[in-house]
Structure 1
């Protein structure tokens, strides 16, 4: 089925599919030392994993494919900062030649709102993408200009109290789902601080 939408490729075109995807993200905090996110499709197939330490001052997370190969690395620029800026690199690199995009909190008062700046642009005005969130439900949308390209909803259960969260993501056709998962992880990491 062909898509009428423009392809949104940020991490890579292998993560852009010609149909709307429904994904599930499960967050697991293990022994207060590490955090893991497992991303699966509706049939339970693991598509991506994100690993990192909970109390790691460098605030570094690595997204891998099911075989364990690094896809991207998420690094918080200044861990002790109100703005909470993250920089995302291809693979496990932190080299500027592998820089993909930057994510910043839109405003100090809008906790779940983020602006995303692609590597080719500066930080003038609004970002290339916006994440608009609802703090009470942990649900949010990812927008490009005035179009919603992904929607995220939180499933609150008793397991949420023990560090096991579950999120449902609806990603539009031709939209890079690894990019959307990275934004979900950043929102959760900012909120877990």
Structure 2
């Protein structure tokens, strides 16, 4: 089992989820809705495009706060780093994991994921390789692929600016963790 956010978000069998990204209020606010195969709401992620830190919050279907994602920019290397905290917290003790992009000039983007215990040693536990738009986005733990974007639905007309993609998950994988990685990927325009 690969539980990063919480055991209750681990699927017991291989499955698919759909992630809908919607823009609201003249593209200033973004909302991600995560649905199961039957169209039931599993998660929501909200944030503003004008937020300098590009903060995002994830809630479950009942509206309870699960985690907070905050961006930090390393000025020296120009690499974007995200830190993900449990609930609405933002203290060091509440860090779950950190995410950093590979070198900005890499042709194929790669996000390195560092668990809280290894965040300062820079020991990567997971990698997200590719782009969901190219339909080649995959999440790895070591050499094992644990999730992948399998289908992308393009943005629709201007009045309903949306984007959707389906994600295939292996059994035992924490879907809240995978969704957090995909949100970080799309917020930073690594696509």
TM-score with structure 1 setting the length: 0.88
Instruction: Tell me how far 1:82 sits from its aligned partner.
Output: 2.6
How many residues in Structure 1 have an aligned counterpart in Structure 2? 187
C-alpha separation in 1, matches of 2:60 and 2:2: 20
Q: Which runs of 5+ in 2 are unaligned?
A: none
C-alpha separation in 1, matches of 2:20 and 2:61: 15
Alignment match, 1:14: 8
Please list every run of at least 4 consecutive aligned residues from structure 1 whose deviation after the TM superposition is greater than 2 angstroms.
Answer: 78-82, 122-126, 160-163
Alignment match, 1:50: 45
Q: Which residue, out of 136, 146, 150, partners 1:149?
A: 146
Q: Which residue, out of 142, 158, 177, partners 1:179?
A: 177
Judge conservation of contact 2:155–2:163 (CA < 8 Å) in 1: no
TM-score with structure 2 setting the length: 0.89
Instruction: Tell me how far 1:160 sits from its aligned partner.
Output: 7.2
Report the RMSD for the aligned CA atoms in angstroms: 2.2
Does the residue aligned with 2:69 lie in a helix, a strand or coil?
strand
Instruction: Tell me how far 1:27 sits from its aligned partner.
Output: 0.3
Alignment match, 1:82: 78
Deviations 1:53-85 (A, max 9, x none): 011112110000011110010000129773110
Q: Aligned pair in 2 of structure 1 residues 121, 160: CA closer, same or farther (>3 Å)? A: farther
Judge conservation of contact 1:112–1:135 (CA < 8 Å) in 2: no
